Structure 1
Amino acid sequence: MAVVRVWRHHDTDHPGLIGDAFVIRGYELQVELIDTKNGPTSFEGVDVLLVLGSSASVYDHAAQQAWLTNEMTVLGEAIEQGIPVLGICFGSQMLCQHFGGRVERAPEGEVGWFEIEPIAGTGITSGPWFQYHFDHCVLPASATVVAANPRAVQAFTLGRHVGVQFHPEVDASQLTDWFLDDEAARNGTIDAAAHIAEATANHERLVRDADELVAWFLHRLQS
C-alpha cells in the first residue's frame, strides 16, 4: 500500500478532506506531530509527504531553534530522495524557502473564505477556500504560479512538488477544533460561527474541491 507521511504541528490539525482524498485512492496515512519533543522519522516506504499548517512563521527565530531548522533539513532530505511534497499554508512556505524563495509578513493577511484565480487545466478550483495566514511567499524563479488572488500567491508548483496557501483540508469539524483553541475567535475578533456555518453549508463542495486537488497532484506525478 502506498503511504502518505503527514506532518502536523498542532494537536488540532489533521489531514482532513485532503487525507480522505488520498485514502479513497488506496493510500495509508502516517501522521506525525512535529514539535519541540517530536521530530520527523525515517522516510522508508513513504511515497508522498503532506506538510500541514502551523501558527509559527518559517522566519521565526524561536521556532527555528526549537524544531523548525531540523524539520527544514529533513524536508530537504525527503526532496533529495525524490519524495513529492504537498505543502499546505506553512507547508507551502517551507517549500518556497527550501527552493530559495522568501517568506515575508503579508501586507494584508487573510482569515476566512476567499476566492482565488486558478490557471485553467489545474485541479484547483476558484473556491472559496478557507484561509488563515499573515505571511506570504515570494517565490523563487524556478516556481510556477498556478493560482493567486490580489493578496497572495495561492498555489504554485516546483517540479513535482505543490504548495497551496489556502486550507483545502478543513471542514466544519476541524474549524471548530481550531477556533476552540484560538484567542481571536474567543474574544470575537474572528466570527468563528460564521466560518463554521459556511463550511457546513458547503461541505459537499469542499469534499469535491479537495478531491480534485489531490487527483491533480497525483496525476502530475505520472506525467
Structure 2
Amino acid sequence: MTRTVLFLRNDPLATEALLAEAFGEFGYDVDTFDVVTADRAHDPAGEVVFPDPRGYDVIVPLGARWPVYDPALRASWVGTEVQLVRDAAAAGIALLGVCFGGQLLAQAFGGTVERSTRPEIGWFDTASARPDIVPGGAWFQWHFDRWTLPPGAVELARTPDASQAFTLGRALALQFHPEVDVALLENWITGDDVGELAALGLNADDLRTRTTELADDVAPRIRTLVAGFLTHVAGQSRPS
C-alpha cells in the first residue's frame, strides 16, 4: 500500500514546500489540511475539526506566526491539535514537527515553550549530534520562541541560543525550517506586516540572496533529514 504523509498547515503562509518534494521522492503520497485559512489569519482562534490521524503514516505539523502558548489558541484549535498528536503517537503514527509544529510537540509531551532571549531569523549554523538524522550546517530560522525538552526526549541539534531538534519515540521536532525555498521565503517577507525584519535590523534582499546561494547545499541535506527521520525515527517499532 502507498504510504501517506499529512501536512498540517497551521498558518496559510507556512506551507510544506521542499519537504513535500522530499517525501514524494521516498514514495509518499502528500495530503494537506488547512488549520487556519487565509481569511482567518488576523483572528486565528477558533474551533477546527481535524482529520482522523489514523488514516496517515506520518503527520507533519508545520509553522505558524503565533505563539503556541497563546491562551486563546490553546483554548481552541491548538488544544485540539495537541490532543491529535498525542492520539497519533499512541497509535504509533510518526510525527515530524517544524518550528511552531516542533514547539507544539514539545508542549504536547510535557515540555514548555517560552519567549527566547534572542530571536533567530535567517541562516544559522546548527551543530548536530546525529547528522544521520539531522545534518549539521546552515538551516533557515524564523522564530521568537524556544522549547524546553519533554521528559524522555533526546536533543539532536542546537544553536548557541536554542535547542534545534529532539526525538521522543517516533516523533522528531525541529526548530528550524528545512522546507524553505526562495518562493516560500518570498511569501514570508511579503507577509511580514509587523516589520519583524526591520525591527531586528535585517535586510530582506540579504535573506533572498543567501537562500539562493545555499539552495544546492540544502537540497541533499533535506533528503538526508527525511531519510534519517523515516529510518531512525518513524522506522522504530510501533508501540503495542
2:187 aligned to 164, 177, 181, which one? 177
Query: What secondary structure, in the 3-state scheme, does the structure 1 residue paired with 2:105 have?
Result: helix
TM-superposed deviation, 1:23 = 0.3
Q: Paired residue for 1:109, among 119, 122, 125?
A: 119
**CA offset at residue 4 of structure 1?**
0.1
Instruction: Identify unmatched segments of 5+ residues in structure 1.
Output: none
Aligned equivalent of 1:198 = 210
| 1:154-169 correspondence to structure 2 within 5 Å | 154-169=164-179
8 Å CA contact 1:112–1:131 kept in 2: the answer is yes
Q: Distance in 2 between matches of 1:185 and 1:201?
A: 24
Displacement after TM superposition at 1:201 (Å): 1.6
Bigger shift: 113-122 or 165-174? 113-122
Q: Secondary structure at the match of 2:198?
A: coil
Query: Post-superposition shift, 1:208?
Result: 1.1
Q: How many residues align?
A: 223
Give 1:48's match in structure 2, choosing from 35, 55, 58.
58
Q: TM-score, normalised by structure 1?
A: 0.94
Deviation at 1:176, TM superposition (A): 0.2
Q: Conserved in 2, the CA contact under 8 Å of 1:123 and 1:212?
A: yes
Q: Which amino acid aligns with 2:227?
A: A
Between the aligned partners of 1:59 and 1:13, the Cα distance in structure 2 is 18
| Cα deviation 1:128-150 (Å, max 9, x = unaligned) | 11101111111123000110111
- 1:142 equivalent in structure 2: 152
SS of 2:53's equivalent? coil
Q: CA deviation at 1:113?
A: 0.7
Tell me how far apart the structure 2 counterparts of residues 53 and 74 of structure 1 sit (CA, whole Å). Answer: 16
* Greater shift in the superposed pair: 172-181 or 33-42: 33-42
Structure 1's 70 and 195: CA in aligned 2 closer, same or farther, altered over 3 A? same
Gaps of 5+ in 2: 37-45
Report whether the alignment pairs 1:69 with 2:70. no
- Give, in angstroms, the shift of residue 159 of structure 1: 1.1
Quote how far apart the aligned CAs of 1:102 are: 0.7
SS at match of 1:222: coil
Counterpart AA for 2:14: D
Alignment pair present for 1:219 and 2:219: no
Report the equivalent of 2:4: 3
Q: Distance in 1 between matches of 2:15 and 2:32?
A: 8
For 1:79-110, what per-residue CA distance to the aligned partner results, in whole angstroms no more than 9, with x for missing partners? 11111100011111111111111111111110
Moved more, 211-220 or 39-48: 39-48
Instruction: Tell me the SS of whatever aligns to 1:14.
Output: coil
Query: Is the alpha carbon distance of 1:101 and 1:13 closer, same or farther for their aligned partners in structure 2, counting shifts above 3 Å?
Result: same
Cα RMSD after superposing both structures = 1.7
SS state at 2:172 partner: strand
Could you tell me how far 1:116 is from its partner in structure 2? 0.9
Partner residue of 1:151?
Answer: 161
